[in-house]
């Protein structure tokens, strides 16, 4: 089993400890690739739109983005961990997610994503853990992923791991170990089930691409959808 982990901070703080609690039960059976942002991530999107309009290889951060994408596509399980920074994910995580705009369903989603599983872990001091998870979930669901498990935490007392009361730390890590145990039982040779919201998004975009293709059969996203057979009868969750 392969796991790719994206951590929204380089700090070995609370986010890191929670991410470790989740991974620890999986380490003996998984090959784990981790990216710590911003160090291992791309710079800010400049808005050149080359990835959307022509070729993602033209992005100034293409090498880094492609390395992350390869790891995401090869993984059976994707893990995203983030603290809340002013109610949202960190700027570094947002910068990384921006580079995958061209992989959103209205453009050129990777068919592999439809069958993937993902876990999002977020934490905050008092408020913003859910909106932070949503920042990440928005991208993952528009990439086509249906099986997204979210665990959010409010520390309430302290932001330094060692100063958080032990029973609180144990409660949080216990929840993540339980989630890891359930993720370990999954048969990853079978793709995750694509749920109704993903299928509805797909069908809406399919109608859009069909109409755009009538206006311009050379339109890049339409050609991609056509080449995948999605304008016809093929579906990414059946491939
Ligand atoms: C710039 C910044 C903004 C933050 N914004 C929030 C916030 O909006 N709500 C909140 O409850 N905690 C906030 N926090 C606390 C973090 O979510 C987190 O609990 C804390 O940084 C510990 O996590 P870490 O050790 O992984 O960095 C913020 C922290 C930082 C550094």
Dist. CA 159 → ligand 1 center (Å): 7
* CA nearest neighbour of 10 among 31, 32, 40: 40
Taking residues 205-222, report their average pLDDT.
98
Mean pLDDT in residue range 77-81? 99
Q: List, in order, residues 6 or more apart from 19 with CB less than 8 Å away.
A: 5, 7, 79, 81, 121
pLDDT of residue 180: 98
pLDDT confidence of residue 52 = 97
How far, in Å, from the CA of 124 to the mean position of ligand 1?
A: 5
Model confidence, pTM: 0.98
* Cα-based distances in Å from 95 to 23, 46, 106, 209: 24, 10, 20, 27
Tens of pLDDT along 96-117? Answer: 999 999 999 999 999 999 999 9
**Which of 83, 137, 146, 89 shows the shortest CA–CA distance to 117?**
146
Going by C-alpha positions, the residue among 164, 15, 143, 134 that lies closest to residue 72 is 143
What percentage of the chain exceeds 90 in pLDDT?
Answer: 99
Query: Looking at residue 157, what is its pLDDT?
Result: 85
Which residues surround ligand 1 with Cβ inside 6 Å? 9, 11, 13-15, 83-87, 123-128, 155, 159
For residue 15, the CA-to-ligand 1 centroid distance in Å is 10
Give the number of other CB atoms < 10 A from CB of residue 187. Answer: 5
Q: Is the pLDDT of residue 16 over 80?
A: yes
Give, using CA atoms, the residue closest to atom 31 of ligand 1: 85
């Amino acid at each position: 089993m392969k796991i790719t982990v994206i951590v929204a901070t380089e700090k070995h703080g609370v986010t890191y400890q929670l991410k470790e609690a989740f991974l620890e039960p999986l380490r003996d059976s998984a090959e784990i690739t981790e990216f710590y942002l911003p160090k291992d991530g791309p710079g800010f999107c400049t808005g050149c739109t080359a990835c959307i309009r022509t070729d993602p290889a033209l992005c100034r951060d293409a090498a880094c983005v492609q390395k992350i994408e390869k790891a995401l596509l090869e993984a059976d399980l994707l893990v995203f961990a983030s603290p809340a920074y002013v109610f949202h994910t960190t700027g570094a995580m947002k910068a990384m997610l921006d580079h995958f705009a061209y992989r959103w369903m209205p453009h050129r989603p990777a068919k592999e994503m439809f069958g993937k599983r993902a876990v999002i872990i977020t934490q905050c001091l008092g408020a913003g853990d859910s909106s932070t998870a949503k920042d990440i979930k928005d991208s993952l669901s528009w990439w086509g992923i249906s099986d997204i498990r979210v665990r959010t935490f409010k520390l309430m007392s302290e932001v330094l791991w060692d100063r958080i009361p032990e029973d609180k730390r144990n409660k949080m890590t216990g929840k993540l170990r339980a989630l890891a145990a359930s993720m370990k039982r999954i048969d990853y040779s079978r793709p995750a089930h694509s749920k109704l919201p993903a299928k509805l998004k797909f069908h809406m975009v399919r109608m859009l691409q069909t109409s755009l293709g009538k206006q311009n059969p050379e339109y890049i996203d339409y050609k991609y959808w056509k080449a995948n057979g999605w304008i016809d009868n093929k579906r990414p969750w059946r491939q």
